[in-house]
Amino acid sequence: MTQQTPDRGLPAEGTAAQDTVAVQLRRSRRSFAPIGGWAGLRRRLGALGIASAVVIAVVLLAALLAPWIAPYDPYEGSVTARHEAWSLAHLMGTDQSGRDILSRIIWGARTSLIGPLIVILCTAVMGTALALTAVWFGGRVDAFIGRVLDILFAFPNMLLAILAVAIFGPSIVTASIALAIGYTPYTARVIRSVALRERNLPYVASAQLQGIPGFLITVRHILPNVRTQILTGMTINFGYAMIELAALSFLGLGVQPPTPDWGLMVSNGQPSLQQGYWEQSIFAGLAIVITVAAFGYLGEQLGGRRAAGRTR
């Protein structure tokens, strides 16, 4: 009586589901990898995209190195140096209090970047958490979260920020958190649509059959596959947040004097415009416009407005 030996070339049935998961994960993650590596990324960004990235890098470095590269103390002024024109001593002139405008713009990069950073981080965390929760549980949970997002859509972002400032007082943190709540529906809507597609792929069902908890599937597999939309949305929303926070500072509802801030500098320099001293408002306004344009164009090249949930 001969005994048949199993064919060692065929995989065991118990590993079929595991192999399916591995294959699906590799395919899914490969679809989100940048084509052509850094060379492909450079071609995708183009000359203006690379220039935008350079502008953003310069602004970030200025904010980080402000104590060492600013030529003067941004708070120190001189009555005898009021409204001085540009010169080698003051490359952008001085303001109505005799303070160096260039130094205040360099230091103002810090406050002008911190607020939008708080907005996009809070938005990414809240929007991603709501979107993944809705996608994974579906049904009534998805419907409830959808209704909450619809309610938030009804409130303009600036209205939420003004209401928050009216209740808790003028503060960059208060205004940033209020704006983040207003931005959350945009982020959640986009991430939900992408995560829903991932949720319906075979590798998720295969992972469930292996007994992997839903939380681990969501965090380890679905979340990495929506990172492109998250990062792109953060880039574009950064520009929107900078504009709206600058507007709040201009109205006196954000950063308070004498703290250097670009939006506040535009407001403080407005009375001087009528006297012919335009440097403070114009230079601060240019800093806002150039930085917002750099973030916006970079985000457009990476994924477009739809990745941030904004089509207007």
CA dist., res. 115 & res. 108, Å (int):
11
Q: Which domain holds residue 240?
A: 92-308
Per the domain annotation, does 75 fall within a domain?
A: no
Per residue of the chain (312 residues), what is the pLDDT tens digit? 444 444 444 444 445 445 555 545 544 444 444 445 567 667 777 888 889 999 999 999 999 999 999 999 999 988 888 888 888 888 898 998 899 999 999 999 999 999 999 999 999 999 999 999 999 998 899 999 999 999 988 888 888 899 998 898 888 899 999 999 999 999 999 999 999 998 888 888 888 888 888 888 888 888 888 888 898 889 889 999 999 999 999 988 888 888 999 999 999 998 888 888 899 999 999 999 999 999 988 888 876 544 555 554
Identify the CATH number of the domain in which residue 260 sits.
1.10.3720.10
- Tell me the CA distances in angstroms from 177 to 167, 195, 311, one per residue in order: 13, 25, 23
Q: What is the pLDDT of residue 79?
A: 81
15-20: list long-range contacts, CB under 8 Å, 24+ apart.
17/206, 17/209, 17/210, 18/206, 18/210, 20/202, 20/203, 20/206
How many domains is the chain partitioned into structurally? 1
Per the domain annotation, does 35 fall within a domain?
A: no
Q: What does the block give as tokens for 187? A: 């982020």
Q: What is the pLDDT of residue 84?
A: 86
Q: Are 263 and 248 in contact (CB under 8 A)?
A: yes
Per the domain annotation, does 281 fall within a domain?
A: yes
Per the domain annotation, does 2 fall within a domain?
A: no
Q: Can you name the residues that pair with 96 across neighbouring β-strands?
A: none
Widest Cα–Cα separation across the chain: 112
In tens, the pLDDT along 212-254 reads: 888 888 888 888 888 888 988 898 899 999 999 999 999 888 8
What are the residue ranges of helices labelled H in 2-138? 16-31, 37-64, 66-69, 101-137
Per the domain annotation, does 42 fall within a domain?
A: no
Per the domain annotation, does 58 fall within a domain?
A: no
Per the domain annotation, does 221 fall within a domain?
A: yes
Q: Are 215 and 289 in contact (CB under 8 A)?
A: no
What are the residue ranges of helices labelled H in 200-306? 202-209, 214-217, 227-250, 262-273, 279-302
CA dist., res. 38 & res. 36, Å (int):
6
Q: What is the pLDDT of residue 40?
A: 65
Per the domain annotation, does 6 fall within a domain?
A: no
The predicted model scores a pTM of: 0.81
